[in-house]
Amino acid sequence: MRHNLLRQVALAVSITAFFPAYAKAGQFLNPAILADTKIGGLVQANFGVNGRTVQFVATPEGRFFNDGRGNWRELGNNGTSFNFRETQRDDWSVYLRDDSRGVNLQLDLHRKEVIYSDDGGRKFVLYQIIDAHDQASTQSDDGGGQVGNAYSSTVVEYTCNEGIPLTLVFESEGEENWVSWTHDGFKGPGRLPNVISGSGSKYSDGRYTVWEHGGNEVYLNLDGIEDRCTRS
């Protein structure tokens, strides 16, 4: 037993050295995921959903959501975005594939983990799952408490001065709204929260501001750099 434990520790250390970004607090490496597990019956995670029904997954680093057409999108809190296609579901998990990077993800609702693997043979826990729901359910059957808030995301393309492209991702969950932006190929450092404005929809963290008017025009102030954009 001692030798097995030492082998697991050694494996965790080697993965940590190879992928240091994933070894920070809250993203625990678990060599036990390499072992096969036989699924018995239908598993209902305490999020209120399981592998057959889940449509949205949140982690400390971002969230995953299903577009309803067999595709999933990962949006990071830092503005990064990756696209996946759904390849399989079982009682516990949803399995995703990014062919462009040779990356597979398992959204494991039972262990509450996002498990990474790739064509190079690496496999490890990438994130911990902190929330999950089916997007359609906002409260329990008896109305006595929330299971999860419906999440939505809309991507809109704009053209700014001198033909500079702007991509905005408008997100909402419950009563909260944010926007993520990419301007001239530069991805913003994080999501901007919706703030009170006299007109239109304004998103700002004090340093970066996106102010949308009438659905077709956007004013930007990106750390002092101003631009105006129209919907493409």
Which amino acid, 11? L
Residue 185 maps to a domain: yes
pLDDT in tens, 90-114: 999 999 999 999 999 999 999 999 9
Dmax (CA) of the chain: 66
In this structure, are 156 and 119 located in the same domain?
Answer: no
User: Which has the higher per-residue pLDDT, 49 or 7?
Assistant: 49
Residue 168 maps to a domain: yes
Tokens 């305490």 belong to: 46
* Total domains, the chain: 2
In this structure, are 167 and 211 located in the same domain?
Answer: yes
Residue 140 maps to a domain: no
Residue 177 maps to a domain: yes
In this structure, are 11 and 95 located in the same domain?
Answer: yes
In this structure, are 110 and 42 located in the same domain?
Answer: yes
User: Which has the higher per-residue pLDDT, 185 or 42?
Assistant: 185
In this structure, are 77 and 183 located in the same domain?
Answer: no
Kindly report the pTM of this predicted structure: 0.47
In this structure, are 11 and 126 located in the same domain?
Answer: yes
Backbone dihedral angles phi then psi of residue 210, each to the nearest 5 degrees = -120, 120
In this structure, are 102 and 203 located in the same domain?
Answer: no
In this structure, are 112 and 168 located in the same domain?
Answer: no
Concatenating the DSSP letter of every residue in 78-134 gives TS-EEEEEEEEE-SSEEEEEETTTTEEEEEETTTTEEEEEETTS-EEEEEE--EEE-
Residue 49 has a pLDDT of 86
In this structure, are 57 and 127 located in the same domain?
Answer: yes
In sequence order, the β-bridge partners of residue 114 are 107, 127
Residue 144 maps to a domain: no
Residue 139 maps to a domain: no
Q: What does the alpha-carbon distance between residue 66 and residue 69 come to, in Å, rounded to a whole number?
A: 8
Compute CA distances 133 → 12, 130, 145, whole Å. 30, 11, 14
Domain that holds residue 225: 151-231
Cβ neighbours around 74 below 10 Å, total = 21
pLDDT in tens, 138-172: 333 333 333 345 667 788 899 999 999 999 888 88
User: Which has the higher per-residue pLDDT, 170 or 122?
Assistant: 122
Residue 146 maps to a domain: no
Residue 209 maps to a domain: yes
